[in-house]
Structure 1
Amino acid sequence: MNKELENPIIIEFPLRGEWDAVNTPAKRIPSHGIDLWGQRYAYDFLKMKSKKLFDGSNFQYYLTGIKTKKCYCWNEPIYAPMDGEVVAAVDGRKEPKRIHPLVDLLRVLRNSISFIIKVQKTGMEHADYNNFVGNYIIIKHDGYYSFYAHIRPGTIAVKTGQLVKQGDILGKVGHTGNSTAPHLHFQLSDSSDLNQAKGIPCAFRNLEYHINGEWKLEEVSIPRHDVKFRYVKD
Structure 2
Amino acid sequence: MLHNYYGTSPLRKILIICVKDWQVTMIIYCLLSITLVLAIYSLYLVGKAGGKLFSAANSYLLLGLSLGVFLYFYGTWVYLSIYTKYVFGSLLVVALLVYVLRKRYPVARPVPRWKRRSNGILAVLFVLLSILYFTGTTGKPDTVELAFPFKSGNYFVLQGGKGLPTNVFHFSLRGAIYAMDIVKLNSQGQRATKVFSRHLDDYLIYGDTIYAPCDGLVVSAFSSNPDNIPPAMNRGPKNTNQVLLETPGYFVFVGHLKMGSVVVHEGQYVKQGDALGCVGNSGFSTEPHLHIQVHAKETGVPWYLGKPLYIRFNGRSYLLNEVIHVR
TM-score by length of 2: 0.51
1:230: how far off? 1.8
CA distance change for structure 1 residues 178 and 172 in 2, over 3 Å: closer, same or farther?
same
2:313 paired residue number: 204
CA distance change for structure 1 residues 160 and 4 in 2, over 3 Å: closer, same or farther?
farther
- Counterpart CA distance in 1 for 2:243 and 2:192 is 25
Pick from 14, 21, 36: which aligns with 2:149? 14
2:266 paired residue number: 160
Is the partner of 2:256 in helix, strand or coil? Answer: strand
1:224 paired residue number: 319
- Counterpart CA distance in 1 for 2:252 and 2:174 is 12
Identity %: 25
CA distance change for structure 1 residues 137 and 73 in 2, over 3 Å: closer, same or farther?
same
Pick from 165, 175, 185: which aligns with 1:48? 185
Whether 1:95 aligns to 2:232 is no
Tell me, which stretches of 5 or more residues in structure 1 are unaligned? 112-127, 206-219
* Contact 1:42–1:186 under 8 Å retained in 2: yes
1:83: how far off? 0.6
Whether 1:170 aligns to 2:305 is no
Q: State the superposition RMSD in angstroms.
A: 2.7
Is the partner of 1:99 in helix, strand or coil? Answer: coil
Tell me how many residue pairs correspond in the alignment: 186
- Counterpart CA distance in 2 for 1:141 and 1:29 is 30
Tell me, which stretches of 5 or more residues in structure 2 are unaligned? 1-133
Structure 1 ranges of 4+ moved more than 2 A: 1-7, 26-38, 48-53, 128-131, 190-198, 224-227
The within-5 A match list for 1:35-184 is: 35-49=172-186, 50=188, 52-55=190-193, 57-58=194-195, 61=196, 65-96=197-228, 98-100=229-231, 104=232, 107=233, 130-131=238-239, 134-184=240-290
Is the partner of 1:53 in helix, strand or coil? Answer: coil
* Contact 1:38–1:194 under 8 Å retained in 2: no
Larger Rg: 2
Query: Which amino acid letter does the alignment assign opposite residue 176 of structure 2?
Result: Q
CA distance change for structure 1 residues 29 and 41 in 2, over 3 Å: closer, same or farther?
farther
CA distance change for structure 1 residues 129 and 141 in 2, over 3 Å: closer, same or farther?
farther
* Contact 2:159–2:166 under 8 Å retained in 1: no
Is the partner of 1:14 in helix, strand or coil? Answer: coil
- Give the structure with the higher percent helix: 2
* Contact 1:36–1:195 under 8 Å retained in 2: no
- Counterpart CA distance in 1 for 2:140 and 2:156 is 19
* Contact 2:223–2:259 under 8 Å retained in 1: yes
- Counterpart CA distance in 2 for 1:4 and 1:144 is 20
